Amino acid sequence: MREIVTSFLKIGLTAYGGPAIVGVMQAEFQDRRQWIGKPQFVEALAFVNMLPGATATQLGIFLGHQRGGWLGGLLAGLAFCAPAFAIMLALTASGNFALSTCGPCSETERPLVPRPISRPICPVRPNSIASITPLLPEPFGPEIANVSF
């Protein structure tokens, strides 16, 4: 189990970007460690691509399950996601990120965005498309200015 946790922590800390992580996982777990064969890896990749959600996380859970059963899958998923969770938690606590207040998002769906990005994008009226009408081309501006979600 220690091998599962350390290897997925390493992947979670060093790899970035959805589909790119799949190649890193293939090199690490299929080629280098030989936890799984190529046909089984390709089949697992095809399966997790059909499922909604994060492909790399689901593939990591599958690989952990193949190596260590249900506990291995659980540990692999947690270890893979823990670095990103810790980074987002630290950035949020530092005050450099804020919940967005613009756009058609409800209170439970508001995205977490960097403050330098959220200020220029949402300067006028929160929760209304009118806040972006100055950015729209001429034919679209006035017609949708009064539409609110």
Tell me the CB-side half-sphere exposure of residue 10, using CA atoms within 13 A. 10
Residue listed under structure tokens 């399950």 = 65
The amino acid that residue 68 corresponds to is G
Q: Rounded to an integer, what distance in angstroms lies between the CA atom of residue 144 and that of residue 4? A: 52
Q: Tell whether pTM > 0.85.
A: no
Residue 98 has a CB neighbour count (10 Å cut-off) of: 15
pLDDT in tens, the chain (149 residues): 999 999 999 999 988 776 788 889 999 999 999 999 999 999 999 999 999 988 999 999 999 999 999 999 999 999 999 998 888 777 767 665 555 555 555 555 555 556 555 555 554 444 444 444 454 445 544 444 444 44
In the structure encoding, which two tokens stand for residue 53, read together?
Answer: 């959600």
User: Which residues make beta-bridge pairs with 97?
Assistant: 114
The answer to whether 5 and 75 have CB atoms below 8 angstroms apart is: yes
113: part of which helix (H) or strand (E)?
A: strand 112-114
Q: Which of 25, 6, 1, 5 is nearest to 15 (CA)?
A: 25
